Amino acid sequence: EESQNKVNVVFGASSQAVSDFAKTAASDLGIARAEALEAAGNFGNMLNTVGLLPAETAKMSNELVQLAADMASFNNQDPSEMLQKLASGLAGEAEPLRRFGVLLSENEVKLEAVRMGLAGTGQALTEAQKVQARYSLILKQSTVQHGDFARTSGGMANSMRILRAQLTDAAATVGAELLPVLVPLVKQLGEALPDAVKKVMPWVKDLVAGFSWFVETKP
């Protein structure tokens, strides 16, 4: 629920494209729906600094989630960790993606920005230009890994990823059905807790006093 709310706020009118993409993430990517939504929302937050339209940032965020699944499959990594590494790379950390064939050195980013026409040679880059250049480099340098999850989805590793994601989605579905009952219950417990503490405190004080007396009088 919270991940969906983040997507709605980050992408606005284009949030439906991300929501639809996440609905099949378990079977198509081996990533649970909530995790796909959360990751896309995080990517969208960073991409919003570029000044692109929400529709474009939604598309780019979906592509990064897809890429995380493909790179995790290709390199036999956990999809959750690969999502974090891609987010780190997009934010400017070069090391997390280096061993997966993606080089995001400052010089490479500057060259890519020039190739993309974002800046002139020797010109200082804005953070938005850096994000665009990093995104472009990530996609270009991981081409050989694109589509690997689909190619190997019948194997044991990806079959297990799909199963785990589907189980997580099933648990979330059951939880969503219980929300109308659980939310009022939690609120009632929160309202009743202060009074319960007040009633228990005299007993706690007596217990502490008795324990202190025992310690002080013990030979």
d(CA 4, CA 192): 30
Q: Are 92 and 130 in contact (CB under 8 A)?
A: yes
List of E strands, the chain:
none
Q: Are 81 and 33 in contact (CB under 8 A)?
A: no
pLDDT of residue 182: 65
pTM, rounded to two decimals? 0.77
What is Dmax (Cα atoms) for the chain? 84
pLDDT of residue 83: 94
pLDDT of residue 135: 95
Tens-binned pLDDT, residue by residue, of the chain (219 aa): 889 999 999 999 999 999 999 999 999 999 999 999 999 999 998 898 888 889 999 999 999 999 999 999 999 999 999 999 999 999 999 999 999 999 999 999 999 999 999 888 888 998 889 999 999 999 999 999 999 999 998 999 989 999 989 888 888 777 666 667 666 766 776 777 677 666 767 776 776 676 666 656 655
Q: Are 103 and 114 in contact (CB under 8 A)?
A: no
pLDDT of residue 2: 87
pLDDT of residue 37: 95
pLDDT of residue 216: 66
